[in-house]
Amino acid sequence: MSSPDQMFAAAAIKAFRQNLDRATKLFTNLTEDQLQIRIAPGKNRLFYLWGHLIAVNDTIFPLLGIGDPLYPEFEAIFIKSPDGAAQELPTPAELAAASKAIDEKLLAAFNGFTASQWLERHTAVSEEDFAKEPGRNRFAILLSRTSHLAYHLGQAILAPK
């Protein structure tokens, strides 16, 4: 029997994974042509949105203090630049491989955290601020990244394919 702490963490990891899985299924089933479709007129292409989700998930490693991003070059392309700005883009196959590597490493780390490790501060908050706001912990990052996935998944579904 799991402790309540473990049950809470397991539920949140499952919610994150379910959104990841839906995103992976959606994007990896698209053709190269479909990946060039915009989610709405004048908005991001599906390819960019996919890269954005992967790049944001890759930032979770440094944010939780558990390592460097696996694909640090993605941040400039898919977070700091808008769609269409980057000169060199990864291929869809490279994105799929990056997604797989990042997701596996993230989930392994998540599954290894104890309850007290989930409640440690994330690296975007100082020790001083964290003492005042203990809610700014790793678990809050897991939840906000789950909402981030769901938010863009809703958009990707809308694209005319």
Which of 21, 31, 40, 132: binder of a second copy (CB under 8 A)? 40
DSSP letter, residue 36: T
Binding mask 6-25 for a second copy (x = CB under 8 A): -xxxxxx-xx--xx------
Amino acid at 25: K
Give residues with Cβ within 8 angstroms of 39, minimum separation 6.
45, 46, 49, 155, 156, 158, 159
Rule CB under 8 A: say whether 115 interacts with a second copy. yes
Which of 118, 121, 122, 125: binder of a second copy (CB under 8 A)? 118
Which of 39, 56, 106, 125: binder of a second copy (CB under 8 A)? 39
Asked if 44 contacts 141 with a C-beta cutoff of 8 angstroms, the reply is no
| Residue of 2, 22, 20, 4 whose CA lies nearest to 142 | 20
Rule CB under 8 A: say whether 152 interacts with a second copy. yes
Rule CB under 8 A: say whether 37 interacts with a second copy. no
Rule CB under 8 A: say whether 124 interacts with a second copy. no
Encode burial over 72-89: b for 16+ CB neighbours within 10 A, e otherwise.
Answer: eebeebbeeeebeebeee
Which of 63, 70, 107, 119: binder of a second copy (CB under 8 A)? 119
Residue where the block lists tokens 């990042």: 102
Q: List residues near a second copy by CB under 8 A.
A: 2, 4-5, 7-12, 14-15, 18-19, 39-41, 43, 115-116, 118-119, 134-135, 137, 139-140, 143-144, 146-155, 157-158, 160
